[in-house]
Structure formats: structure tokens, C-alpha cells
């Protein structure tokens, strides 16, 4: 190298003959190209689906919250968790901070690396592994829609070292570069769907303009209505959509479940497994699948909350599940609340671990006050102008009323856990109806969805225009029935 003449022909050649010069110019050219790609990434020109940006939102929120706000419970999973566990309710029920680290469409290897990065930010007390992460995959996804989800999960992570470690585990070689950049991944939008590009850029700009700083704990609410009559009829005619005998657990599942458990053990973090249910008519021979999963879970010696079996047919009714006959059935908002409170009770009553109690922490209260599940679990401020506080910490005919309040047409009552009151209660109340005072009965039921740990929670839906002023007494529902 470095010759100034071509020795064979004796011809003069250019002055620049060093490979270093060429490499330098090549590097400059590559740098310019990389700069262009990074610029487009920063501007989000090629970002897709800005309405469903929960993958990014999850990491943005985690980095914003931590380390000032420690995360106490991390629920590892995929779409089954982000639609099936409501972290704000879980936090308020247990008096700590819970987070769904559950990027849709990912498997347990992805979760391992997510957890690894999360542990660089905070050290939770409990990590919950949802078993649907063990999908029986043998290696990285190489094509199809699953790959899009894995790209979306990978991209927003910020720890370069952990991302590099995870790259060969999560992706095939052909996806190594696209994984790092929206631009490389979605550049075909430029010619194939410019409208989509423009729409997403606008949505992104709107979001920046809104400067939305609401508390985000990883949930992705998707399904509002339960199983339709059409799907119910499929169960009658076609039978269940999933056969547990066809499901398997792979070596990859074994390996990464073990790695998560080991990682947690090393960091002094408690681990448990959890299975979120599908509708009982949606799956058959679940026992076979459970036995497969047991081969991973039992040797770890960790607790396992399995909501599929034994199945709670009363709590998990058809309104709790996505209306689909596809294999992958998620939970609705109602279903997620039922599952969340079952999980909270399991942690409190069975697992019995020392979780930090942040209910007296003013920062924690400030963070969660008014958020999903707060008022169902925690006392409200005495002077909260948004509520009509009807009663607080009073005895009524030997029954301790913790709190009773009204917001718009919603009426709620909290009684001690050990109350002898049953599923349904009837109150005698004094109420204002269009500026007139009246006395009447108010039928309330134990909430189907909210099941706080420390008290019983009853709810009623009032007629429009009714404001309850005070509770006068209890009416025995059995007495009314007999009359």
C-alpha cells in the first residue's frame, strides 16, 4: 500500500494511493447516509400506526418515571397482559406501583431483554411472567406480522448494549439493520402509501403539541365489548377454537423463562407465573397445555396463578373476553379488571411478599389520585370538588361505612371487609330530585369488576338529576322480597 506508481506497467497513478484515504471517504459517505436515515427517524417520517403507539409510549413512560418513581411490580407479557392486566388498579389495590412490560406480539426472549433493560432503571419487588409468552417458538421471527411487533418492541428500547445483545436472539440476519430504524423498515411508504406517511406525521405533531403527560403504565385498552351472539353460536356449532393438545413449550421458552427467574433471583426479586384466561368455551383440553407449561414452571419452584383452571365461571363471563373465534383471545376492559383484582388478591393473600406500602407517600398519592382504580381502593380528599361525599367513616346501625360518594350518576359505597352484608344491599336514602327532597330506597350490588383488598365495594347507577344527600338506614333485601 502507499505506492505511487503501478510497478507492473510503470504508469503514473494518482497521488492518493493509500487505502486509508479511500476508507475515510467511504466512511464520510456512509456517515452522510446514516445521518439522513437518523434525521428521518427523528422526524418520524416513516413511522406507522401512530394511534397505536403503545410500544413507544411504554418505554417513554418508563424512562420518564424512573428512577424517581420506583416500579414495584412488573408484569411481563404480550398483548394478553397489556389488555388483560390494568396496572393502575393493581397499583391502587396493593398501594404500590405496577407496570405492564408487555409489548404486543412478542415472546419470552423479548421479555427477558425488556426486563434486563428495565432493571437498569429500577428494581421491582415482584416480577410476574404471563405464560402466554411461552408460545412454542424455536427462534427469532423471520417474517410476517409478528416481526412488525418485534420491531416495534425493539426500536424504543434505549440501552444500546442490551439492544445489541438481543439483536441475534430476536431477529434473523436480514432484519438486523431494519430493526434499528423506522426509515429502513418502512421506506416503501414513500412510493406505496404517502397518505399513511402524511397522516402519521400529522398525528405525531398533534401529540407533541398536546404535550400529554398522563400517567402511562403500559396498558393498551383495545376491546370494549364482550363475546357476541355470533361467536357464541360458533361454540355451539364448531366447538372451541383452541385445542390445548396442540400447544407446546419450546426449548427457547424453557431457556428464557429460566433466564428471567435467574435474573430476578440474582437481583433479589420475587417471581411468580400467571395465566390469564380465555373464555372457557373458547378452549378445550387446556390441561394438556397446562402440563406443558408445568414442565417449565414447576422446576423453578415459583408460585403460579392460573386463571384458566380452575376457571371462575361467575367472574369471567362472556363480557370479559374479546369477541373472536381466532386462536388468540384477549380480555375486555371488564375482564381485565376481574383478572387484575384476582391477581391483587393472590399477591396479597397467597404470595404474601413484602411489597412497599406507598399509600402514605404523598408523591405516590399525587401520581395516582383520580387515576383508574384510585377511588375504588383509596380514600378521596375531603374537599374534592368533583365528588359528592355522602358519608365518611361513620357507623350506621352497627355497620361501619368507610366511604360513600357520588360522582355524576355513579354512586359507590365502601364497607368493611368483614361485613355480613351480602351481594346485594338496599339503602334508605334522602335525595334531591330536581330541587325537591325525597326519601327512597337505593339498590346496590357488590361490584363485579372492582374487588378491593381492604373493603367491600358496592355500586349503583342513579337516575339522572338525583343527588343523594344522606344515608338514613339499611333495608333488608329479603324483607322486601317477602313483602
Q: Give me the residues that bind other proteins (CB under 8 A), please.
A: 1-3, 6-7, 13-14, 16-19, 21-22, 26, 29-30, 32-33, 36-37, 142-144, 147-148, 172, 174-175, 177-178, 183-185, 187-188, 190-192, 194
Q: Which is nearer to other proteins, 129 or 189 (CB)?
A: 189
| Smallest separation (angstroms) from other proteins to the CB of 44 | 15
Degrees to nearest 5, angle at CA 309 with 219 and 445: 65
| Smallest separation (angstroms) from other proteins to the CB of 331 | 30
Q: Which is nearer to other proteins, 30 or 208 (CB)?
A: 30
Nearest of 80, 374, 69 to residue 219 by alpha carbon? 80
| Smallest separation (angstroms) from other proteins to the CB of 135 | 18
Q: Which is nearer to other proteins, 188 or 436 (CB)?
A: 188
| Smallest separation (angstroms) from other proteins to the CB of 76 | 26
**Could you please report the per-residue DSSP string of 306-338?**
ESTTTT-TTTS-GGGB-S--SS---B-HHHHHH
Distance CA 340, CA 217 (A): 14
| Smallest separation (angstroms) from other proteins to the CB of 144 | 7
Q: Which is nearer to other proteins, 171 or 223 (CB)?
A: 171
Q: Which is nearer to other proteins, 138 or 436 (CB)?
A: 138
Distance of CA 419 to the CA centre of its chain: 33
According to the 3-state scheme, what is the secondary structure of 22-43? Answer: HHHHHHHHHHHHHHHHHHHHHH
Distance CA 378, CA 46 (A): 43
Q: C-alpha grid cell for residue 79?
A: 398483548
Q: C-alpha grid cell for residue 164?
A: 445489541
Q: C-alpha grid cell for residue 399?
A: 355497620
Are the beta carbons of 128 and 94 closer than 8 angstroms? no
Which residues make Cβ contacts (< 8 Å) with residue 339, sequence separation at least 6?
84, 85, 276, 277, 307, 316, 320, 331
Counting every residue written for the chain, the total comes to: 483
Are the beta carbons of 226 and 319 closer than 8 angstroms? yes
Q: Which is nearer to other proteins, 49 or 243 (CB)?
A: 49
Distance CA 339, CA 320 (A): 9
Are the beta carbons of 104 and 55 closer than 8 angstroms? yes
Q: Which is nearer to other proteins, 23 or 439 (CB)?
A: 23
Distance CA 264, CA 271 (A): 7
Q: Which is nearer to other proteins, 26 or 350 (CB)?
A: 26
| Smallest separation (angstroms) from other proteins to the CB of 194 | 7
Q: Which is nearer to other proteins, 185 or 219 (CB)?
A: 185
| Smallest separation (angstroms) from other proteins to the CB of 52 | 18
Which residues make Cβ contacts (< 8 Å) with residue 68, sequence separation at least 6?
none
Q: Which is nearer to other proteins, 184 or 433 (CB)?
A: 184
Distance CA 457, CA 377 (A): 9
| Smallest separation (angstroms) from other proteins to the CB of 53 | 19
Nearest of 76, 369, 71 to residue 214 by alpha carbon? 369
Distance CA 25, CA 67 (A): 43
| Smallest separation (angstroms) from other proteins to the CB of 82 | 24
Are the beta carbons of 203 and 87 closer than 8 angstroms? no
Bridge partners of 416, per DSSP, are 455
Are the beta carbons of 85 and 75 closer than 8 angstroms? yes
Q: Which is nearer to other proteins, 172 or 473 (CB)?
A: 172
| Smallest separation (angstroms) from other proteins to the CB of 193 | 8
| Smallest separation (angstroms) from other proteins to the CB of 19 | 5
Nearest of 74, 76, 71 to residue 110 by alpha carbon? 76
Bridge partners of 429, per DSSP, are 440, 471
| Smallest separation (angstroms) from other proteins to the CB of 222 | 24
Q: Which is nearer to other proteins, 189 or 402 (CB)?
A: 189
Amino acid at each position: 500500500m502507499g505506492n505511487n506508481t503501478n510497478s507492473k506497467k510503470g504508469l503514473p497513478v494518482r497521488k492518493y494511493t493509500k487505502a486509508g484515504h479511500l476508507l475515510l471517504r467511504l466512511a464520510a459517505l456512509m456517515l452522510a447516509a446514516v445521518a439522513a436515515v437518523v434525521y428521518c427517524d427523528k422526524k418520524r417520517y416513516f413511522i406507522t400506526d401512530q394511534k397505536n403507539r403503545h410500544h413507544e409510549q411504554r418505554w417513554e413512560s418508563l424512562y420518564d418515571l424512573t428512577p424517581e418513581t420506583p416500579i414495584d411490580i412488573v408484569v411481563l407479557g404480550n398483548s394478553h397482559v397489556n389488555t388483560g392486566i390494568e396496572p393502575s388498579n393493581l397499583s391502587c389495590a396493593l398501594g404500590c406501583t405496577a407496570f405492564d412490560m408487555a409489548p404486543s406480539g412478542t415472546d419470552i426472549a423479548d421479555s427477558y431483554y425488556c426486563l434486563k433493560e428495565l432493571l437498569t432503571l429500577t428494581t421491582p419487588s415482584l416480577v410476574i411472567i404471563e405464560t402466554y409468552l411461552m408460545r412454542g417458538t424455536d427462534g427469532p421471527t423471520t417474517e410476517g406480522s409478528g416481526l412488525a411487533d418485534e420491531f416495534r418492541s425493539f426500536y424504543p428500547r434505549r440501552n444500546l448494549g442490551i439492544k445489541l445483545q438481543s439483536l441475534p436472539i430476536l431477529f434473523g440476519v436480514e432484519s438486523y439493520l431494519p430493526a434499528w430504524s423506522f426509515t429502513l423498515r418502512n421506506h416503501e411508504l414513500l412510493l406505496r402509501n404517502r397518505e399513511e406517511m402524511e397522516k402519521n406525521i400529522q398525528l405525531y405533531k398533534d401529540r407533541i403539541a398536546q404535550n400529554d403527560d398522563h400517567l402511562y403504565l403500559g396498558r393498551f385498552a383495545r376491546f370494549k365489548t364482550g363475546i357476541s351472539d355470533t361467536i357464541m353460536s360458533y361454540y355451539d356449532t364448531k366447538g372451541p377454537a383452541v385445542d390445548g393438545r396442540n400447544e407446546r413449550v419450546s426449548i427457547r421458552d424453557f431457556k428464557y423463562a429460566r433466564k428471567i427467574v435467574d435474573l430476578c433471583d440474582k437481583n433479589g426479586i420475587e417471581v411468580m407465573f400467571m395465566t390469564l384466561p380465555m373464555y372457557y368455551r373458547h378452549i378445550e383440553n387446556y390441561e394438556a397445555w397446562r402440563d406443558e407449561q408445568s414442565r417449565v414452571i414447576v422446576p423453578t419452584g415459583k408460585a403460579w396463578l392460573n386463571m384458566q383452571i380452575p376457571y371462575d365461571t361467575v367472574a369471567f363471563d362472556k363480557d370479559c373476553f374479546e369477541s373472536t373465534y381466532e386462536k388468540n383471545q384477549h380480555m375486555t376492559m371488564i375482564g381485565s379488571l376481574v383478572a387484575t383484582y384476582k391477581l391483587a388478591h393472590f399477591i396479597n393473600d397467597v404470595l404474601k411478599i413484602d411489597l412497599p406500602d406507598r399509600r402514605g407517600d404523598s408523591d405516590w398519592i399525587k401520581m395516582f389520585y383520580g387515576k383508574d382504580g384510585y377511588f375504588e381502593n383509596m380514600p378521596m380528599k375531603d374537599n374534592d370538588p368533583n365528588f359528592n361525599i355522602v358519608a365518611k367513616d361513620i357507623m350506621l346501625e352497627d355497620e361501619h361505612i368507610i366511604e360513600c360518594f357520588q360522582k355524576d350518576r355513579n354512586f359507590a359505597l365502601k364497607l368493611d371487609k368483614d361485613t355480613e352484608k351480602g351481594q346485594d344491599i338496599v339503602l334508605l336514602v334522602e335525595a334531591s330530585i330536581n330541587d325537591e327532597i325525597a326519601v327512597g330506597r337505593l339498590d346496590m350490588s357488590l361490584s363485579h369488576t372492582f374487588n378491593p383488598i381492604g373493603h367491600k365495594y358496592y355500586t349503583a347507577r342513579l337516575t339522572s338529576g338525583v343527588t343523594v344527600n344522606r344515608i338514613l338506614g339499611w333495608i333488608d333485601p329479603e324483607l322486601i322480597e317477602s313483602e
